[in-house]
Chains A and B, each alone.
Chain A
Amino acid sequence: MNSDIIIKLENVHVSFWQNNVGVYSLKDLITQRKSPFKSKTIINDISFEVKRGESLGIVGRNGSGKSTLLRTIAGIIKPKAGIVTVNGTFAPILAIGAGLEQELTGYENITLLLSLYGIPRKNTNAVANIREFSELSDEALRMPVKQYSSGMVARLAFSISLANDSDILIIDEVLAVGDQGFQIKCVEKIRQIKNQGKTILFVSHFPDGVRDICDNAILLEQGEITHRGLAADICEQYKMLF
């Protein structure tokens, strides 16, 4: 594989077992006498390459397979067919704080996620960086995350995903929640990361954000790539969907 290419997808198919007509308990299974699951294709024969240092935007309607595509690239979901090759490391995908444990405090979440991501616990620098970037007070970080506002959760989640020095940054709709100040700061930070030569995968419903950050983009519709090209052009295509 060419060393310039950091992510390569070849004819990737992903399918989910879909709950057939609402079977979710054994009672339903017994009384309905139907197979409880059917297979539904989410990603249908997708192939593309991402070069090192490229930033790729992924746009599409709700349910078009954007998040599934990101998770497949990150190795969280195994494709049913096709090959995903990745030549680098990932930051966790903390889509609007999904990976944060509600009952644990901010600090406890930071330590947990850092160790799950293989950053040594002695690295107090990482914790300090997260605290600084998130602008959350010491007091807030000692509170359980369930007491955070959605903006605070987004700040913490985004700051943690920046903490590990990975080659590929995956951003899934993080900018939707934080306040304007934080949004600007995030965009700034993403640009800075991009200038360091890192690869960025950016999912968003805001075409302007995609145009701002990304070089190229793809448009997904029902699990297939319908358009690909320069970010500005794809954003126009995306707007025409509505």
Chain B
Amino acid sequence: MQNITRIYALSKRNIILRYKNSLIGFFWGFFKPLLYLLIFIVIFKHNSGIPNYILFVTSGLILWFFFSNVTGQSVGSIVGSVGLLKSLNIPSYFFPLSETIGELFNLLLTLLIFFIIMFWFGMDYNIRLLLIFPCILLFAVFALGLNLFLSSVNVFFRDISIIWNTIQPALFFMTPIGYAESSIDPKYKFFINCNPIYYFIKLGRSILYDPVAPSLQQWGNCLIICIGMYAIGHFVFSRLKNQFISAI
């Protein structure tokens, strides 16, 4: 119980800190996907051949920006919490965890607004949309696993945050968000299949956009990737955590 209070307090701190001293605060969270949406409309929409393009892109962008924000924030979460880590006996995984929870809160607010706005863009409201919550849960656990890995290794090699920020845009374009999967040359399809984020975005989009529910195999793929990533992150983190204080 005490731990829940602590994680709650840290998550709240993260949310406060993120928008401290900014004029429109939380609304920046909408601004970024909106900007990308406009870019995609200008570049791809006219010959994408995708029906209901705006819903298609937005459903992908929301999930992508959750992922991009949460990893970008978490990679420095241990290094940035040096003061608290040195003063209090609290488990260090609370820091990447609370970043993930704070961003999850943002995602839920964004999703709420998405559900309202998409009324005008032909969203099919039915009970199946609720499947987005288990999908988000899987994606969040995957992201948490990655965050545990990134934040702990970043303590020892600060390059990690730079590398991560460099490869993120590449990952973004390796994920079919603004374009259809079918428009990729089959020769290069392999690269897309290697991208774990692709599976989560696809699952989410199946729920929000496609007329048919995602297949069991889709859920299975995501579950395996999610467990695998969490296991790796957890392993690396627990190997390194005892040396955090000496290295920061």
Interface residues of A (CB under 8 A from B): 16-19, 24-27, 29, 36-37, 42, 71, 74-78, 90, 92-95, 97-101, 103-104, 108, 111-113, 115-118
A116 contacts across to B, CB distance below 8 A: 6, 9-10, 84, 88, 90
Does residue B85 face the partner (Cβ distance < 8 Å to A)?
yes
A95 to B85 Cα, complex, angstroms: 12
Residues on the B chain within 8 Å of A78, using CB:
242
Which of B9, B12, B86, B163 lies in contact with A99, CB distance below 8 A? B86
Residues of B within 8 A of A (CB): 2, 5-6, 8-10, 12-13, 16-17, 20-21, 82-90, 156-159, 163, 242-243, 245-247
CB-based contact B86/A93 at 8 Å: yes
What residues of A have a CB within 8 angstroms of the CB of B9 in the complex?
111-112, 115-116
Q: Is the CB of B246 within 8 A of A18?
A: yes
Q: Which A residues are in CB contact (< 8 Å) with B243?
A: 16-17
Q: Smallest distance from the beta carbon of B19 to chain A beta carbons, Å?
A: 11
Q: For residue B5, which residues in chain A have a CB less than 8 angstroms away from its CB?
A: 115, 118
Q: 8 closest A-B pairs (Cβ-Cβ)?
A: A16-B246, A99-B87, A115-B9, A75-B89, A98-B83, A26-B159, A118-B2, A17-B243
Closest CB in chain B relative to A162 CB, distance in Å: 14
A100-B88 contact, Cβ under 8 Å, with A16-B243, A26-B157, A112-B9: no
Kindly identify which residue among B17, B90, B247 contacts A103, using a CB–CB cutoff of 8 Å: B17
Determine the distance from Cα of A49 to Cα of B73 in the docked complex, in whole angstroms.
43
A98 partner, pick from B13, B86, B156, B246, beta carbons under 8 A: B86
Q: Are A71 and B2 interface neighbours, CB within 8 A?
A: no
Chain B nearest CB, measured from A66 CB (Å): 14
B213 to chain A, nearest CB (A): 41
Q: How far is the CA of A112 from the CA of B15 in the complex (A)?
A: 13
Known pairs A17-B246, A112-B13, A115-B8; A76 contacts B159 (CB<8 A): no
Asked, given contacts A17-B246, A104-B16, A112-B9, whether A94 binds B87 with beta carbons under 8 Å apart, the answer is yes
Could you give 15 example pairs across A and B, Cβ below 8 Å?
A: A25-B158, A74-B89, A76-B245, A77-B245, A78-B242, A90-B89, A97-B83, A98-B82, A98-B87, A99-B83, A99-B88, A101-B84, A104-B13, A116-B90, A118-B6
Closest chain A residue, CB of each to CB of B160: A26
Q: With the chains together, A95 CA to B82 CA distance in Å?
A: 12
Nearest chain A CB to B93's CB is how many angstroms away?
14
- Contact flag A103-B6 (CB < 8 Å), given A17-B246, A19-B247: no
The minimal Cβ–Cβ distance linking A170 to chain B, given in whole angstroms, is: 10
Closest to A116 in B: B6
Complex CA–CA separation, A30 to B157 (angstroms): 12
Shortest distance between the CB of B205 and any CB in chain A (Å): 35
Residues of B within 8 Å of A71, CB to CB, are: 86, 245
Q: State the CA gap A27–B246 with chains docked (Å).
A: 21
Given contacts A76-B89, A118-B2, 15 further A-B contacts (CB under 8 A): A18-B246, A24-B156, A26-B157, A74-B89, A93-B88, A98-B82, A98-B83, A99-B84, A101-B83, A104-B20, A108-B13, A112-B9, A112-B12, A115-B8, A116-B90
A36 CA to B17 CA, complexed, in Å:
34
Q: Please give the distance in Å from A201's CB to the nearest CB on chain B.
A: 14
Residue of B nearest to A90 (CB): B89
